[in-house]
Amino acid sequence: MSRGLASAITDELASGKFTMAHLVSIEPYEFDASNSGTFLYTDAPVDVTDQFTSTQEYGYKCAITFDSTTASLADAEGERRTTNHANLKVGMLVTSYGDKKYGGTYSVGLGNTIASIGTEPDFTLTNAALRTSSQTELLFSGGLGHTYKANGFLRGLGAIREQSSINIGSIKLGISGVNQTVISDILTNGHLNRKVTVKRVFLDSNYALITDAVFSVYSGRIESMNIRDSEEDSMMELSVANHWVDFERDSGRQTNNTSQQHYFPNDVSMEFAPQTGKKLRWGDVSSEDLSSMMQGKRSTRRSYNQ
């Protein structure tokens, strides 16, 4: 599948001063309500924060000046304003919240975004404000990114190949055993079916994320785990497969005694289901012969085929 590249990416690629890196996300065990952490790692030389379009919206009171791109958070509650300012990200969409009579969607203009983040409580907009207000409530959405840590815990990533045909694509993911947090979490809460996402990004010569240079290249779920410890190294290897791995699996109930006992513990109607299709031998047989016959052996007593 061909992909078009934004001009910002092609310019950096043409300069030759860029770095390619991967962002790996290991989501928590989905059936454990108490486990809410997501492990985020990168093989880049620095921490990388990506950006994504979020449906979640945040409303903060802000001070804006007519015909100016400067703005600041107006919340005077100290620590809360500090937290809100830390949540601001370049690229977040900004729209006003409230009655148009007091600013509304016209106070900053439709489609305005955050251009840069200054020292608390300041930030700048891409477009000048359309009115002055000291307490207008702005609605921020999108642009909130996740920070992937360059802590050396991501030790290995298998090759990711694309094919035109539908296939079971799997990769190996190596995580350093020095990270006791992720190992303890996986051993306690389980590893099967945890979602793993891999993104490929490009960084400029200053190791800053190039605009629109974030590509999702793989998504799958953990199917097996192996921990190797030695005197020199400790490694946790995760095998991740895409959703096609279960494409041919037969789902639902099975016609065997184990499945029947799961739903009806006292029902033994499926006890001899494995003997379906075998030849039945008629005659006077002992319990010992019956046992042998059930194992597929010919009875030594008088018998004949039906």
Burial 152-161 (b: 16+ CB within 10 A, else e): ebbbebeeee
- How many angstroms separate the CA atoms of 21 and 282, rounded? 71
Helix, strand, coil % in the chain, rounded to nearest 5: 20, 35, 45
Per-residue pLDDT for 77 more than 50?
yes
Of 247-251, 256-260, 289-293, where does mean pLDDT reach its minimum?
289-293
Query: Partners of 235 in the beta sheet?
Result: 176, 228
* 57-141, CATH topology level: Elongation Factor Tu (Ef-tu); domain 3 (2.40.30)
Who contacts 292 (Cβ-Cβ below 8 Å, separation ≥6)?
299
Give the chain's radius of gyration (CA, Å).
30
- How many angstroms separate the CA atoms of 104 and 97, rounded? 6
- How many angstroms separate the CA atoms of 4 and 23, rounded? 21
Indicate where the chain has its CATH 2.40.30 domain(s): 57-141
- How many angstroms separate the CA atoms of 25 and 28, rounded? 10
The distance of Cα 3 from the centroid of its chain, to the nearest Å, equals: 23
Burial class (CB in 10 A: 0-12, 13-18, 19+), 124: middle
Span 105-143, pLDDT tens digits: 567 776 788 888 888 889 998 888 888 888 788 887 765
DSSP 129: B
**What does the mean pLDDT of the chain come to?**
76
Which of these, 216, 230, 238, lies nearest to 158 by C-alpha position?
Answer: 238
Of 118-122, 140-144, 158-162, 271-275, where does mean pLDDT reach its minimum?
140-144
Give the 3-state DSSP-derived string for 74-94, with helices as H, strands as E and coil as C: CCCCCHHHHHHHHHCCCCCEE
**DSSP E strand boundaries for 6-132:** 19-26, 39-42, 48-49, 57-64, 70-73, 93-96, 112-117, 122-125
Per-residue pLDDT for 76 more than 50?
yes
Residue-level pLDDT at 299 = 45
Overall average pLDDT of the 52-74 stretch: 79
Burial 222-237 (b: 16+ CB within 10 A, else e): bbebeeeeeeeebbbb
Span 16-30, pLDDT tens digits: 778 889 999 888 765
Per-residue pLDDT for 164 more than 50?
yes
Query: Partners of 136 in the beta sheet?
Result: 62
Residue 55: pLDDT band with limits 50, 70, 90: low
Per-residue pLDDT for 13 more than 70?
yes
Phi-psi region for residue 152, left (φ > 0), alpha (ψ -120 to 50) or beta?
left
Contact between 17 and 199 (Cβ < 8 Å): no
Amino acid letter, residue 27: E
Residue-level pLDDT at 122 = 92
Per-residue pLDDT for 204 more than 60?
yes
Residue 300: pLDDT band with limits 50, 70, 90: very low
Residue-level pLDDT at 219 = 85
Q: Using CA of residue 59, residue 61, residue 67, residue 69, what is the dihedral sign?
A: negative
Alpha helical stretches, state H, 239-286: 257-263
User: Would you mind telling me the total number of residues written for the chain in this entry?
Assistant: 306
